Structure 1
Amino acid sequence: MKEKPTDLEAPSVTNHRRSHSTISIEKQDIINEEVAQSWTRGQVKNDKNTKQKNPLAGLTKDELLADVEAFAQEKNLTHILDDLKKGALIAQDPKSFESLTELSEGEKDIIRREKTHRWSQPFMMYFMTILCAGSAIVQGMDQTAVNGAQEFYFHEFGVTNAWRQGLLNGAPYLCSALIGCWTTAPLNRYFGRRGCIFISCFISFASSFWMAAAHTWWNLLLSRFLLGFAVGAKSTTTPVYGAECSPANIRGALVMMWQMWTAFGIMLGYIASVAFMDVTHATIPGFNWRLMLASTAIPPFVVCIQVYLCPESPRWYMMRDRYQSAYDALCKLRPSSLQAARDLYYIHAALKVEEKLREGKHLWREMFTVPRNRRAAQSSFFVMFMQQFCGVNAIMYYSSSMFREAGFDRRTALVTSLGCGITNWIFALPAVYTIDTFGRRNLLLTTFPLMSLFLLFTGFSFWIPDDTSRTACVATGIYLFMIVYSPGEGPVPFTYSAEAFPLYIRDIGMSFATATTWGFNFIISLTWPALVKAFQPQGAFGWYAAWNIFGWIFAYFCLPETKALSLEELDQVFSLPTRKHINHYRGMLPWYFGKYILRRDVEPQRVLYDYE
């Protein structure tokens, strides 16, 4: 392969995903078969680049326009034929639209504004974004309202066994990993993206009141288990819905906002704990913790009202051959009918390719037997696993008990936990920018060692004999940990997993990745009380500090960068054997040491990929 300078991450690439379209049925089948073979081959030759070709590259204008006419006739869209033709010409070569004589100056200006005014979008696009943000808030609040509530219901129900405490808190994530994540496909198939979000938010709404009304620990356990049916489906569907409705030029930022608004919901969960901690009722025992859990019904109630005011995913409509509905939805989500027609044709072409890719294949088997797919699954599994085993959710769910163990009274512990939520949200905001500039891999390589250091600092602080110094150091360590977690292992896993898999197995891949994170989330929730009891806080924090060191080693040697890469470039990245990835970065260790530690002038570093 050719070599060219790069940095820690794979080089930033300016190539964009090429647009696909349809031509004559016979010729399209040939093209689709070639693309399918390229995507499923899963291995590149050592001396060659494998790149997907734009299926439209060899077509004449007449061939393209003829296919557009056939498409319009087949789907009863002849009333927008003029826009479809112009849109297809733009999609064939997006960079050359200025030379198209078919476009008026006003239409060219519309296309120019996609780059110069990226956030100039119609009202419905922002309304849809608010819906996705609300769904993320539901997710975050469901996770942390229990943090303060457990300080009261453990005592009220006499739950002193550490394993039972962990099971109560982790029940939603057990249900999500075993059942909830795997209901995503059928719910989406039969009820659509909006329907899946509505059902999952309604379950969150109902389970909130059940939790608040629970009269025994096992009744609370059942209500929290029910909550898990919502957690998996919602966390998988909402980012997909946002991505399918968004224009390509702002899609990454909108998908990234899932994590940011989840962090906001996490903060609201802490706020609810502080707001209701002193509320009492003469005849209702545990009125404060019941209000904490009941307050989590507010965000899903708002989402349930809002969701059917938004258009359904155009892609979902087209998968059911409802092209007029898809076009109407795109008209609400795009600034002009020209852009709506262009995207309608593009999505149609992408679906045709995916149909061919899926045809006759056992998708589960392909995810693990095709080397390219297996490496994507390995990397997605790693980032999702480390999102839990970096130790963050032990803090999210048990920070109040951690602060009480350090010497805080219950009131101070709850207020200090609120600071964790605020810190988590504030420091998630920079990731909207850094995840696409600094890179996914570099964010992890920077934050894993720092998270390990701050966990060790927190754990060792429990040995400080003076109460004031001990509590101050424990709080400082946990806050510093949240500061470095929020822009790193916070946003990277869902973003990375969403782009790592090829299109034809992406649904299954995301279900696998989501089930992984919620499964290990349950393990964290279940084991933390017993871990602290057996090894004391020093050993428990040290355990997760060690996992962060492992995370750094694996990320450095085995995790490919996916920042700013097109589909064909991602195929090349994940087609490279892991062994070669390890050998490359092992050989780069002296280079990094000489450049960044000894501050010497060194030759340009070797590169791992060639995208030319």
Structure 2
Amino acid sequence: MLFPRLDSSPREEKQEQEQYATEDVAITRKTTIELSSNKSGAVRNPLSGIPREQLMKDVEHFATEKGLTEDLSLLQAGALVAQKPQDYHSIDLLNSDQKAALDHEREHKWSHPLTLYLTIFCCSIGAATQGWDQTGSNGANLSFPQEFGIPTGKNPLTGEDYPESHEWLVGLVNAAPYIASALVGCWLSDPLNNFFGRRGCIFITAIILVATPIGSAFTHSWETLFVVRLILGIGMGAKGSTVPVFAAENAPASIRGALVMGWQLWTAFGIFLGFAANVVVKDTGTIAWRLQLGSAFIPALPLALGIYFCPESPRWLMKKNRYPEAFKSLNRLRHNSIQAARDLYYIHVLLEEEKKIIRGESYIQRFTELFTIPRVRRATLASFVVMLAQQMCGINIIAFYSSTIFLESGSTATQALYASLGFGAVNFVFAFPALFTIDTYGRRSLLLFTFPQMAWTLLAAGLCFLIPGTGKARLGLIAFFVYLFSAFYSPGEGPVPFTYSAEVFPLAQREQGMAWAVATCFFWASVLSITFPRMLKALTPTGAFAFYAGLNVIAFILILLFVPETKQLTLEELDQVFSVPTGKLSGHVISKEVPYFFKRYVAFQKDATLEPLIHKDNDDDLEASKRG
């Protein structure tokens, strides 16, 4: 039993411990918390309560089975640290250097080997391609439709509107990468990861992301451009489904959010660089759009060149039963071998628990288990909500069409490009605060704070279109509220969806789960890209912005009810978080969180307290220290 039973008496628990102590095989204790229904919300240490002698036998069995006998004493010491994370100074198997390394880890959470940071940096930089492409097409929208015979807006010679079909075709070309990502690219990540590993998959997608932007610059019809951008989307989808997972699997739990959000930080930087490139090439005439689209290959180059200098994901290696290689990888990602030994054994024990409810033996089975296993289904729902919310919030109507929007406000094409550059700069700069808040305040808290702010700023930007005339004041106010909207988005809904989705699925379903999440994001991005030009015309900018402001409110409610917190827990401990029934989470929100909010922030009752539903149960650790 890995966890003491919640409903057992002290006598029954003692009998179970005595029975367990007579076993001479690897961990066979019966879990206390069902991974399908953790109604208490407690996250417990699976090693708590195991007598030291038995734990040493378990580790010996593990080392023999996995080909790690040369490191047996180190693994045994690591297992004791995992069992008593708060009381490692009492462990006699640890030497002074190992204890000092654990002290340093606790006191300096950002102190990790350079290899870890270079790995995260190398992988995340590839996200800039996605952001650069978004803004490259944003600027290209001002010129490529004319060259390919599908201009939009009004004919300057006749004053009549161009055919409505032109707007749909421009939207379709812009949406092509997201259509291909959602339908093909994301789902290819599972077989690519299976056969080539995390690094191999990332390398293949990097090559695609180098070739296709260059190819798009040499197209001579909208049909060819559409096909090239479809291929771009295949690489984008597989990369987007793999890079955040790779980063999450390498990162320590204490700063995992900050490291994985490097994906969003580089996406935002790519958006800024794309806008900057649009401005730089704006006066190059008819080839401007070719340079704007083609330049997006630049960030993919360092990704392709650097990925094989990074260690492979330890968890992927463990999934493939390549434990010696996983241990070597962890040693490169941690300062001291005792940390690597602790993490290896603790991850292994929790993975063994996962296997009791999850099989994931084939592609089809892994996909169906996203919806049929309660623990996985809750992760599927939560990731769906945060990814859908990223499109509902309206950020991509700005990222895709800001130049068009600013033209609607009465600006010139040059002014629109410079205003868009300002949006890109704000989007990038305001992503930095999330580095220090995402692991402190948590993913859920950031979302719940930022969505109401995005709703009112987007509505305000839309209402500014009602200001008469086309003067600088009108453009300035629209730009101000768009920038303010971006400033709230960047530290909240910007970094959270990809970070969150990379965390929440069990190892067996991680590729399929992340594919589902990213496909959700990119599918609705494609819908937005296709429909917004027509929506802008049918509803006017004010109506379109008001529509997305309303969607922000709906997204806030969905997050409140269906998205649990994941900060400061290992990927495997999150099994227990997503074992909490959805009704229990929603009930806690309605009965506890909402009343607390009104008491604390409306009635200003400073003594109001909120008992969190999800909490790490440290009592087990203290009890284990006494029994160890």
TM-score (norm 2): 0.85
Q: For 1:606 and 1:96, locate their aligned partners in 2 and report how far apart those are by CA, in whole Å.
A: 26
Q: Does 1:42 align with 2:37?
A: yes
Q: For 1:589 and 1:63, locate their aligned partners in 2 and report how far apart those are by CA, in whole Å.
A: 46
Q: Give the stretch that moved more between structures: 139-148 or 575-584.
A: 575-584
SS of 2:478's equivalent?
A: helix
Cα displacement string for residues 344-398 of structure 1 (whole angstroms, at most 9, x for unaligned residues): 3334434433444323885444433444443333232222111001111010010
SS of 1:218's equivalent?
A: helix
Q: Does 1:253 align with 2:244?
A: no
SS of 1:465's equivalent?
A: coil
Q: Give the stretch that moved more between structures: 579-588 or 302-311.
A: 579-588
CA separation of 1:97 and 1:477: change in aligned 2, threshold 3 A: same
Q: Does 1:233 align with 2:228?
A: no
1:495 to 493, 496, 499: 499
Asked if structure 2 preserves the Cα contact closer than 8 Å seen for 1:43 and 1:371, the reply is no
Partner of 1:405: 408
Q: For 1:318 and 1:565, locate their aligned partners in 2 and report how far apart those are by CA, in whole Å.
A: 19
1:529 to 528, 533, 536: 533
CA separation of 1:355 and 1:565: change in aligned 2, threshold 3 A: closer
CA separation of 1:332 and 1:288: change in aligned 2, threshold 3 A: same
Q: For 2:273 and 2:34, locate their aligned partners in 1 and report how far apart those are by CA, in whole Å.
A: 47
Gaps of 5+ in 1: 1-21, 281-285
SS of 1:471's equivalent?
A: helix
Displacement of 1:484:
1.1
Partner of 1:7: none
Q: Does 1:553 align with 2:549?
A: no
CA separation of 1:147 and 1:120: change in aligned 2, threshold 3 A: same
Q: For residue 465 of structure 1, what is the amino acid of its counterpart?
A: P
Q: Output aligned runs, 1:126-275, within 5 Å.
A: 126-160=117-151, 161-275=166-280
What's the RMSD between the two structures over aligned residues? 2.9
Displacement of 1:582:
5.1
Partner of 1:303: 303
CA separation of 1:588 and 1:250: change in aligned 2, threshold 3 A: closer
Q: For residue 207 of structure 1, what is the amino acid of its counterpart?
A: T
Asked if structure 2 preserves the Cα contact closer than 8 Å seen for 1:172 and 1:227, the reply is yes
Asked if structure 2 preserves the Cα contact closer than 8 Å seen for 1:581 and 1:608, the reply is no
Q: For residue 446 of structure 2, what is the amino acid of its counterpart?
A: L
Q: Output aligned runs, 1:359-374, within 5 Å.
A: 359=359, 362-374=365-377
Q: For 1:551 and 1:26, locate their aligned partners in 2 and report how far apart those are by CA, in whole Å.
A: 52
Cα displacement string for residues 494-534 of structure 1 (whole angstroms, at most 9, x for unaligned residues): 23333444555443322211111111011111111111121
Q: For 1:315 and 1:502, locate their aligned partners in 2 and report how far apart those are by CA, in whole Å.
A: 11
Asked if structure 1 preserves the Cα contact closer than 8 Å seen for 2:207 and 2:304, the reply is yes
Q: For 1:303 and 1:340, locate their aligned partners in 2 and report how far apart those are by CA, in whole Å.
A: 26
Q: For 2:610 and 2:254, locate their aligned partners in 1 and report how far apart those are by CA, in whole Å.
A: 32
Q: For 1:23 and 1:134, locate their aligned partners in 2 and report how far apart those are by CA, in whole Å.
A: 50
TM-score (norm 1): 0.87
Asked if structure 1 preserves the Cα contact closer than 8 Å seen for 2:458 and 2:485, the reply is yes
Asked if structure 2 preserves the Cα contact closer than 8 Å seen for 1:51 and 1:568, the reply is no
Q: Give the stretch that moved more between structures: 481-490 or 459-468.
A: 459-468
Q: Output aligned runs, 1:178-577, within 5 Å.
A: 178-280=183-285, 286-359=286-359, 362-468=365-471, 469-564=473-568, 571=576, 575-577=580-582
Q: Output aligned runs, 1:572-587, within 5 Å.
A: 575-578=580-583, 581=586, 584-585=589-590
Q: For residue 534 of structure 1, what is the amino acid of its counterpart?
A: A
Instruction: Work out the percentage of aligned pairs sharing the same amino acid.
Output: 44
Partner of 1:79: 70
Partner of 2:620: none
| Number of equivalent positions | 579
Partner of 1:283: none
CA separation of 1:456 and 1:118: change in aligned 2, threshold 3 A: closer
SS of 2:149's equivalent?
A: coil
Partner of 1:6: none
Displacement of 1:461:
1.8
Q: For residue 339 of structure 2, what is the amino acid of its counterpart?
A: Q
